[in-house]
Structure 1
Amino acid sequence: MELRRATATDVDAIREIAETSWRTDYPDILNREAIEDGIDEWYDPDRIQAELAEDDAVVLVAELDDEPVGFAHAIRQQRTGYILRVYVAPDARGRGVGSALLTSARDALLTRGVDDVRAMVLAGNEPGNAFYEEFGFEKVDEQETVIGGETYTEHVYQRTR
């Protein structure tokens, strides 16, 4: 497996990984319209390009056999790091890709001087919640997020250094 910073040539792969992940993981959590709207909003190619250019953003891609199979997107806001997304293509799961992406994104945030790292996961995403808990993140809050015009609860996890 190779982990590297994402580039403009990864935009389509990032969107495809997100789309297959959402369609696999969220059909019992989000309605079909919310999935479609969320993908169109969050993974619009221009938006991904803009995120790649942000100084405080960390966007990583994981490759297996020279093919992108996962990505992580994190940002630094003052002294707090936020892991916004960690997605692995369904057919590449169980091979340590998500673990490597999470660890690398967290480490990149820590080297940028953050005091703690937070992650948000939809409350209904049981595997996603368990994933962060396995890495020592503790649930510290709940908040609401809007996807496709619908409001959903998400858990906020935190891990200090």
Structure 2
Amino acid sequence: MIVRESRHDDVDAIEAVARASWETDYPTILSRETARDGVEEWYDADRLAAEIESDDALVPVADSGDEVVGFAHAVEDEGGGAILRLYVAPEHRREGVGGDLLDHTHEAFGERGAEQVRAMVLAENEPGNEFYRRHGFELVEESETVIADTSYRENVYVAER
């Protein structure tokens, strides 16, 4: 498994990992329609391609050699860096893929001079919250995110560099 920066030809694979993750992780949090609409909005091919090209974004992927099995989507901001999303295909969880993506993203922000890294996760996504706590992130606040025109509580975690 290698973690590398994404390319344009990874767009469909990233969308597939996101779709599988949302279907697995959010059935009691989001309706099927909301999950579908959220994936279509957040992982639209043009939008994702623009993020891959952006100098302010990081979109690393975990590549098994045969396929992309995970990705992170993070952006630089005034506070350092923000991990907006990090997903691993359900059949590749518990293999260390998420930790590898997190480490890669954290290090990349460090190379860009970030003093801290924030991570956002839906408040009701307990496995996602546990992931960040396990990796040394501290819960600092609650915010809201909008998915398909509906607001959801989101936890914001921080790890110092």
Kindly provide the CA deviation profile for residues 116-158 of structure 1, in whole angstroms up to 9, marking residues without a partner as x: 1000000000000000001110000001111112111000001
Comparing 24-33 with 58-67, which one deviates more in the overlay?
A: 58-67
Comparing 42-51 with 68-77, which one deviates more in the overlay?
A: 68-77
TM-score, normalisation: structure 2: 0.97
Q: Which residue of 1 aligns with 2:89?
A: 89
Comparing 38-47 with 65-74, which one deviates more in the overlay?
A: 65-74
Q: Which residue of 2 aligns with 1:54?
A: 54
Q: Does 1:135 align with 2:135?
A: yes
How far apart, CA to CA, are the structure 1 residues paired with 2:150 and 2:156? 19
What SS is found at the alignment partner of 1:81?
strand
Deviation at 1:78, TM superposition (A): 3.2
Q: Which residue of 1 aligns with 2:144?
A: 144
What SS is found at the alignment partner of 1:140?
strand
Deviation at 1:110, TM superposition (A): 1.0
Which runs of 5 or more residues in structure 2 are unaligned? Answer: none
What SS is found at the alignment partner of 1:145?
strand
RMSD across aligned positions (CA): 0.9
How far apart, CA to CA, are the structure 2 residues paired with 1:105 and 1:66? 22
**Over 3 Å off, 4+ runs:** none
Deviation at 1:66, TM superposition (A): 2.5
Which runs of 5 or more residues in structure 1 are unaligned? Answer: none
The count of corresponding residues between Structure 1 and Structure 2 is: 161
What SS is found at the alignment partner of 2:59?
strand
Q: Which residue of 1 aligns with 2:158?
A: 158
Identity in percent: 54
TM-score, normalisation: structure 1: 0.97
Kindly provide the CA deviation profile for residues 1-24 of structure 1, in whole angstroms up to 9, marking residues without a partner as x: 111110000000000000000000
Deviation at 1:79, TM superposition (A): 4.2
Deviation at 1:65, TM superposition (A): 3.5
Q: Which residue of 2 aligns with 1:13?
A: 13
